[in-house]
Every structure is written in structure tokens, then in C-alpha cells.
Structure 1
């Protein structure tokens, strides 16, 4: 009986810790805006300020199929700053490649489990640039359809890498549905891509190493209903430069 009388006080001490030990200090607040409070209207100014104060130019995706290194463009400052901010906060580390369409694109940024990081869904104004287009290996930001999203606002977390195939000049122009620059025509003829996406989605970076890993992801078995990989392809993303 004595054993049980002493058990409760011992359990209480274990839960409370030694009375002489100082309380654990709270984790320091990460720099930059509160990603749980940003909105469509407040995000642009906050992200531009963050990008100026905490610059970066390259990120590395680590997956079970290999690594992908990406360069982010300076002339898409909102999308660049947003991606740097969410990468540094660990948001993408809780996500997977959730839509894989062989020969077209692989999309990531969603999760099959509840997020542990508080994140609000805000959208980004488009930053479409003629010199950044959907050549193979381009990094773009997804968005809702024109009917739901006539202003073409980008998602804050859903990104994609383009794959596609090569096109003759006539095929590329027909697929795009609008005039293409000589650089675009040449790129689609030699590297391939998805010209049909040009002008409708923001391209804000490109794969510099590991394009073969993107192609491996595109080959994984998927659920035919929603193109979600049968076995999750998760990621760890970090700013490396």
C-alpha cells in the first residue's frame, strides 16, 4: 500500500519538473510576416518587404527519388518572396507532390494530413513575364480556373514543374494560341514544354539541377481519379543561396 501512496507525488514531480530548473524559454518568433494572418490585400506589400530584407535565389527540393535544385527569378518578386518565406517556415516540408500528369507537369504543395503550421490561404497577383515561359523544367504557381478566378491570382502554396514535349514552330504557336517570341519557339523546339500554359500562369523559377528527378516523379503510379501518387512523394525544401 505504501508504494501507491508515493506514486502520485512522484508522478506529479515528473510532470512538473525540478522546482529549481528555469522554465523553458519560448521559441523566438521567426522573421517576416505572420503567414497565418496574410490576406489577398495585405500579402503583396508584406512579401515585397520580406523579399528586400531576407533575399534568396535558390532552393533545394529533397525527395525519395532525388534532389531538385531551382533558381528563383528576380523579376517575379512576389512569387519569389512568398516561396522563400514559406520554405523557411517549413510549410513545404509538410506537403507532397499531389497531382502528377505524365508528359505534362507534376504539382505539389498539398498534404494528405493536417498541417501543424498555421497558414492562411491568401493569393498572389500574377507576375506573367514574356521572358519566363513554360519550357521543360519551369517552376510555376497553380491557380483556380478563370471562372472562379478571373484575375488569375496565384495560389500561395500550390506549385508545379512543367514537362511537356517538343513542338515544331507551327505546333507551338497553335498550342499557345497567341504569338510566341523567337526564344520561345526555339526553346519549345529543342527542350520542349507546355506552351498552352503561357500567359495564364506565373512562371517564377527554373530547374537548374535534377530535371531527371522531376521526370522520375512523373513516372510514379497514380490514382486515375485525381492523379495523386499511390505512394506519396514528399519533400524537404530549403533555401540554399
Structure 2
């Protein structure tokens, strides 16, 4: 085969291969760009919908989804509230102790991971002990802004619907920081085909 024919052959092969490889890559990117939402249905009525943000904390999102799909949160409560700060839930006994029996690596800068999601009103983050990789299922939703938490806690989502229920819980009577009446999460599930209101 002459050099000219070889060049034409190689050019033709590139035209065939490039479109196929490009299509495959685009499909993967589209899949990664799909938004995922989790709904917390409160037993007394009302839903809190969380948009998950894996671009900031992928392991935290995967861990949270694993617990949601295992129905870990169903029937658990929000046990702690500090007005203008946050509400916290996911303790198996409703007392702020314990977790799922599994843990996830802390995705925040003091643990060697850059997480650019700031702890502003509506942001959802992993609760933990003083051990950096100890998050085990408890989480908190910001009622106010607290950027001093940035770099020490793994923020992984934000509320896109139902902040009025977060407000209601944050303003409920407490004994210290413990809610006197602990709102029950009736079901926590992944929403299919959810579109947040514009």
C-alpha cells in the first residue's frame, strides 16, 4: 500500500473512531450531571427536599444515599435544634448518640480534602465526633449561616423545598439543645424525576 493510501486509510479510521469515543464520553458526563434529590417526609406533615451535591463531597453523598436506600432514616427523629444555627437528626436512639455502624471519610480541608460548599442557611452537612472520619449517619441542616464550620464538616447538599419546616423545627421548644418534641422522619427516600420550583 502506498504512503498516500495509508494516509487516507488512517484519516478514514480517525473519522470513525472519534465520533464513537466522543459519544461515550458525553453519555458519562450527562450521567454525572444528573441531579439527585432526597425527600424527608415528616410524620406530622410536610416534606423537606434535599439536593445532593457530589461535586463537593462525593463519598458523603454516596454514603448518605446508601443509608437512605437501606431505609436507615425511616422512623428516626430530629433530636437537636439551635435557633439561627442548625437542626440535627439521624441518631438511632434519638439522643444524639450512635449511628449506622458504618463511617465515611470526612470530606473537609482540615482532613486533607477541599470542599467548597459553605455552611450557609439550608446547607446539609455530616455530623461527627471529634474524630475526623467518624460521620456515621447523623446529619444537620443549617438554619442560619456558620462559615466557621467550613473546613471541619462535610457539607454535601442543600434544601430546595421545605425550609419552612426546618424553621418550624428550629423554633420549637428545647431543653438546652434537645428538642422536647422530636419530629419523626416518617420516610426518607430518593425522588425520581423531581424538578425544583423555579
- Do structure 1's residue 223 and structure 2's residue 175 form an aligned pair? yes
Tell me which residue corresponds to 1:72: 52
Counterpart position of 1:59: 38
Q: Does 1:195 align with 2:147?
A: yes
- Give the CA deviation at 1:77: 1.7
Post-superposition shift, 1:122? 2.4
CA contact (8 A) 2:115 2:154 kept: no
Q: How far apart, CA to CA, are the structure 2 residues paired with 1:162 and 1:210? A: 13
Query: Where in structure 2 are there 5+ consecutive unaligned residues?
Result: 1-30, 109-113, 193-198
Separation in 2 of the partners of 1:84 and 1:214? 21
Change (3 A) 1:88 1:240: same
1:163 is matched with 143
Distance of 1:140 and 1:154 partners within structure 2: 13
Equivalent position SS for 1:94: coil
Determine helix, strand or coil for the equivalent of 1:144: coil
Given that residues 107 and 160 in structure 1 are in contact (C-alpha distance below 8 angstroms), is that contact kept between their aligned partners in structure 2?
A: yes
CA contact (8 A) 2:104 2:133 kept: yes
2:70, 2:103 → 1: CA distance?
18
User: Among 201, 206, 210, which residue is 2:162 paired with?
Assistant: 210
The correspondence for 1:237, drawn from 167, 188, 195, is: 188
Long gaps (5+) in structure 1: 1-51, 114-118, 165-192
Tell me how far 1:65 sits from its aligned partner: 5.1
Aligned residues: 148
**Correspondence for 2:107 among 122, 127, 152:** 127
Structure with more strand by fraction? 2
State how far apart, in whole Å, the 2-side matches of 1:130 and 1:240 are. 25
Shift of 1:94: 2.7
CA-based RMSD of the aligned residues comes to: 2.1
| Residue 98 (structure 1) aligned to one of 56, 72, 79 | 79
Once the two structures are superposed, residues 123-148 of structure 1 have per-residue CA deviations (whole angstroms, 9 ceiling, x without a partner) of: 21122344311010000001112xxx
CA distances 1:87-113 after superposition (whole Å, capped 9, x unpaired): 111110131001111111000001337
Please say if residues 57 and 72 of structure 1, whose CA atoms lie closer than 8 Å, have aligned partners that are also in contact.
Answer: yes
Question: SS where residue 82 of structure 1 aligns?
Answer: helix
Q: Corresponding residue for 1:43?
A: none
